[in-house]
Structure 1
């Protein structure tokens, strides 16, 4: 669909849904950028602004732990007790012809992480917003179980790791770093915790901020019951710090400040060992989630460029997992120099596939100013995809990876093996340099592992 869908089936279906809430037909319907799993559309009705959140097809909801009906019920409940969740005004019905989802009253603020981080760049500003995020999270975790809608699943650590392992095997089981992480998770399982309401996707990008103030908590599709350390850790993953990886708590503050603010707001006492386990767990979870995006695109459930390119972000998480787990290796292995990168001679003669991709990307740059809104966002994603193709022509896939992964997940090979950590580090650096060379942790890892700037 294009940027403005006036007169389309989307607008007509939305008009039917709004009528059930006593609201007039939508105006200025515009697709919002982002949204790797769901569509979001902003519009006006009766002089107010609203947001439609939907899955256009049943295929997009396959494999999800909760449907939009349970998600909407959970949002209504937490909104009613004072959590900064949006107010839901109407849910979609089959007769609307729009898939599944709901309409929410729009909240002030921006979800854009880079804008949020720029507006809170000072030490005091970053800590102030981090304190608000921690307080809101403590409030979410303190919600009364009895008031929650039925159908919310409970995440048990052992069952969660078993689920990740099943995904890994289904996807081919040939990524050594993911295998290493899964084995570590199995060997270090924490005892089950007294369950709390878990948001499941609590991070910059899923909250609204106006200047220095938290104004909303969005995207409750992964809500469940579980260990509060899971939410605390997820917000601190390297990928969700964006350009501020030096501030572990959501790119805003230190872990000490993050934990102190959470505990001061009534959250449970933070166990740093449990926190680290969940940080590894959710990093592994997101690695497999990115991996799965490729399958979703390949099978036709969602053929957007964004879906395909997110699959290549698996390499970000592989690098992050190594940084989290390399402390398990002996000092001699952590200090071992890396082997050199494999390289191919520069191309000659006719243009290679990579050079053709570069040529197309350069042409796309000339038409950027003709696009706006979601089309402009997809244009940037497409250029990113072409950049991967341009770099990928020289990348090599090691057929021994599957055998190494099986050995690591079985525990027959470990980071104590001479040269193994150095090999994994080199592979992670080279792969990420192809997939996402601007990922901030890449420079950090290069300096730490090779001394390069």
Structure 2
């Protein structure tokens, strides 16, 4: 069956469900929404309302990033406790899909994206988002079908494998870094709901307010320090040589951590997780660069990554002392 036929059938299913929610109101066409990182992402209107539809790609299994129903479950569980788009329809027959509210806002990563936002606004948004992360980690929401929690050892194993699949010349110092992390793995904290890629670039903001956290493809149960270390990584453009842009006045890691803690004590062994976040970033970038050079995914922009990969490894070693 052709992809066009599959999309036509999907559009029919979506329009049928939305018509029931908006009787007598005009329905728009299902349009591809650029910028999605997994599955298929579309937009559609129904009357005066706008929705985003995420669907499993034709012919692919609903696993990993393509498991859109898993994303729908966490969004529904978090409704009312964390700002997320509201889910309005879920359709489980394959290819599965769900529809959520279209939230208007800007998703901009200040130190990496090309933008003209005022520096003070970037600072305010980032500090506000620290409170959202705190709320996520404190939520008592229970999500059906959540996988087993990842402890620090499992997190290190995962990204060590990714790192070691990168050619050694692209990851100078990585073996020493992995060995030092493995020699000092801290005890895990009680698992919480984690986003997996929590940062300002994955939050739709309206003015200074985070209106919705998006891109829940890799949510899970895990150590809260994993999310927190990743979030703090994006405060300083110097972490991203040849990629980052200087934004005067952005919160320092210490300020962002204080905003997250809100007067509570700092978590133990947090430097290990700061180093782990840099290890993860270096592994991801090295993986992407390797795929480009091997021809699996042509993207000349990946050639800008080596200085940042090296800096991530170097600063992670510095953090570990």
> SS at 2:232's partner residue?
coil
Alpha-carbon contact 2:235-2:253 (below 8 Å) kept: no
State the number of aligned residues.
306
Equivalent positions of 1:323-334 (< 5 A) are 323-325=314-316, 327=318
Tell me the CA shift for residue 162 of structure 1.
1.9
Structure 1: any 5+ residue segments left out of the alignment? 331-453
* Aligned residue number for residue 240 of structure 2: none
Alpha-carbon contact 2:57-2:66 (below 8 Å) kept: no
Tell me the CA shift for residue 139 of structure 1.
0.4
* Aligned residue number for residue 45 of structure 2: 44
Question: What CA distance in whole angstroms lies between the structure 2 residues aligned with 1:232 and 1:277?
Answer: 12
Alpha-carbon contact 2:230-2:274 (below 8 Å) kept: no
> Which structure exhibits the higher relative contact order, with contacts defined as CA atoms closer than 8 Å and separated by 6 or more residues?
2
Tell me the CA shift for residue 158 of structure 1.
1.3
* Aligned residue number for residue 17 of structure 2: 20
* Aligned residue number for residue 78 of structure 2: 78
* Aligned residue number for residue 145 of structure 2: 150
Residues 149-199 of structure 1 show CA distances to partners (whole Å, capped at 9, x for unaligned) of: 232341111122222233344556664424343233223322212211111
Residues 105-136 of structure 1 show CA distances to partners (whole Å, capped at 9, x for unaligned) of: 111212243589633412xx333212210110
Alpha-carbon contact 1:90-1:102 (below 8 Å) kept: yes
> SS at 2:41's partner residue?
strand
Alpha-carbon contact 1:293-1:310 (below 8 Å) kept: no
Question: What CA distance in whole angstroms lies between the structure 2 residues aligned with 1:286 and 1:41?
Answer: 27
Equivalent positions of 1:57-206 (< 5 A) are 57=58, 59=60, 64=64, 67-79=67-79, 81-94=80-93, 99-113=95-109, 118-122=116-120, 125-144=121-140, 147-170=142-165, 175-177=170-172, 178-206=174-202
* Aligned residue number for residue 402 of structure 1: none
Tell me the CA shift for residue 210 of structure 1.
1.4
Alpha-carbon contact 2:160-2:178 (below 8 Å) kept: yes
Question: What CA distance in whole angstroms lies between the structure 2 residues aligned with 1:38 and 1:32?
Answer: 11
Question: What CA distance in whole angstroms lies between the structure 2 residues aligned with 1:60 and 1:120?
Answer: 43
Residues 308-341 of structure 1 show CA distances to partners (whole Å, capped at 9, x for unaligned) of: 45765652541332441453899xxxxxxxxxxx
> SS at 1:232's partner residue?
helix
TM-score, normalised to structure 1's length?
A: 0.58
**Structure 1 residues 328, 259: CA separation in 2 closer, same or farther (over 3 Å shift)?**
closer
Question: What CA distance in whole angstroms lies between the structure 2 residues aligned with 1:11 and 1:66?
Answer: 19
Structure 2: any 5+ residue segments left out of the alignment? 238-242
Whose radius of gyration is greater, 1 or 2?
1
Question: What CA distance in whole angstroms lies between the structure 2 residues aligned with 1:102 and 1:268?
Answer: 40
Deviating more after overlay: 212-221 vs 160-169 = 160-169
Alpha-carbon contact 1:37-1:60 (below 8 Å) kept: no
TM-score, normalised to structure 2's length?
A: 0.78
Question: What CA distance in whole angstroms lies between the structure 2 residues aligned with 1:182 and 1:152?
Answer: 25
Equivalent positions of 1:272-351 (< 5 A) are 272-291=270-289, 294=292, 298=296, 308=299, 312=303, 315=306, 317-325=308-316, 327=318
Match of 1:259 among 234, 257, 260: 257
Between Structure 1 and Structure 2, the one with more helix by share is 1
* Aligned residue number for residue 341 of structure 1: none
Alpha-carbon contact 1:87-1:104 (below 8 Å) kept: yes
**Structure 1 residues 191, 215: CA separation in 2 closer, same or farther (over 3 Å shift)?**
same
* Aligned residue number for residue 31 of structure 1: 32
Alpha-carbon contact 1:152-1:223 (below 8 Å) kept: no
> SS at 1:282's partner residue?
helix
Tell me the CA shift for residue 238 of structure 1.
4.7
**Structure 1 residues 8, 196: CA separation in 2 closer, same or farther (over 3 Å shift)?**
same
**Structure 1 residues 268, 208: CA separation in 2 closer, same or farther (over 3 Å shift)?**
farther
